[in-house]
Structure 1
Amino acid sequence: MNYIKHLTGFFEKVAIDKTLNPTHVSLYIALFQFWNCNRFKNPISINRDEVMRISKISSKATYHKCLKNLHSLGYINYEPSYNPFKGSHVILFNFSEDLKPLSKSERKPKNEPLIELVSEHALNKSCTSSETSTEQALVPSINYINNTNILNDKNVSNLEKQAKKFEEINNSILKNEIEEEKEKKLREKKKEKFIITSNVVEKPTIEEVKTYFQENNFPEQEAQKFFNYFKSVGWLVGGKTPMVDWQAAAQNWMINAPKYISNAEQPNRAKQLNTTTDKDYSEPL
């Protein structure tokens, strides 16, 4: 590929495109450098930090905005990657094909001067040897004669159609990504709901609790305490998680029950702490 013709075609497009600014041009030149290092093979894998460093763009928002604008206008084909370990892909188009040679009828004769004669209006207003003119002679610009700097209407219309096509493709891709994200969230919610529902067991009755405590040689009063407590909290463990196995919770209740027995119910209570009501505090220790 002739990269000189490619860049010439690119700058001809930029010259007639009023939507682009210097930041777009800088970003495209940085992408062109990656393309050059890849021997002009498509697609190329880019790194955001590296492209921002070369293009001198410091804002991530500006970087993504300019990248999407170049994609929608048909300068590049941007394929974003949402995987942090995989770079995004960019396809650059060959603009050297837009530079078509002029036909023989459009070429100027060899003997014809490059600069046309000044119009009669300009000659009448031009400077003479006797007076100074206040008007400027209108001379055609050299760039106006150079037809290689002007795209024909057919190429412009093709580029507009191509940009519109890429914009439609980009919108359809974004729409599909949004729908996939919604379906993913909906599947996750259904999965969480199924897990919570499957983990919930039927609540035991007071009779079942009493029978279980009696089988483990625990008094009926502890069974009543266990049933009343968990019924008051909606059979939730820790006030948040639904109870999965009430027999296991009953076993933990039985293990921890001796810790909450009052001092009056303990058989080995220290009797030396007892005092009599008829103690005489006037007696010395």
Structure 2
Amino acid sequence: MNYIKHLNGVFIQFSKDNRLNPTHISLYVGLFQLWNNYHFCDAFHINRQEVMAYAKIGSKSTYHRCLKELHHWKYLFYTPSHNPFQGSRIRMFDFGTSDGHVVYPYRPKTRTSNGQVVVPLNKHIETTKNKTNGDKPDCPQNEFEVISFFQKENCPKKEAKKFYNHYQSVGWTLGGNTKIVDWTAVARKWILKAEEFKQEKTILPVSQNTDNLRTVSSKNYNEPL
């Protein structure tokens, strides 16, 4: 997927579409940034609060309305989720073709009223592959996935948020330059460290009132050391 060609193509389409307002465009740009963070994968899950922050949208009703309209107007494919631990699913369409027409590489086949199957005109499409190290995910799709994983490992939700915020801020790398190849393995190591830290805190500190040297109170200071 060509980053520049895509943005040029979609903004040309924006200029021709009178149905759009600035909120639609800011929402699309926010979703595009998340798509970029996920390396332009086939589809990705979103966190509503995160998307609203990217798009600078303060109203939930405005957010949902604009997202549904972008779906109906064929700028993206939106699958809502009713699972509190998994966000809605988004598939972006590629606007970066040489002739300026949008390509729907991920849109399922549909049928017309007479039963004829409608397929994209351009059949020679190179889709983006989303395979990294077999079945090992290099990073979670969103915060809800991390929370769900930590809860399965009997680890508090607060610890999951700390883990997600830390590695999200460093781009899911180790030491700032090594890309994580399996975030679940890193998460298990984080959980073990959290357990060790918790056990260390339960050790009673040395009291100032305790005779830790076990000396006798009746000391004869005439005796040599």
**Structure 1 length as normaliser, TM-score?**
0.36
Computing the radius of gyration from Cα coordinates, the structure with the larger value is: 1
Higher relative contact order (CA 8 A, sep 6+): 2
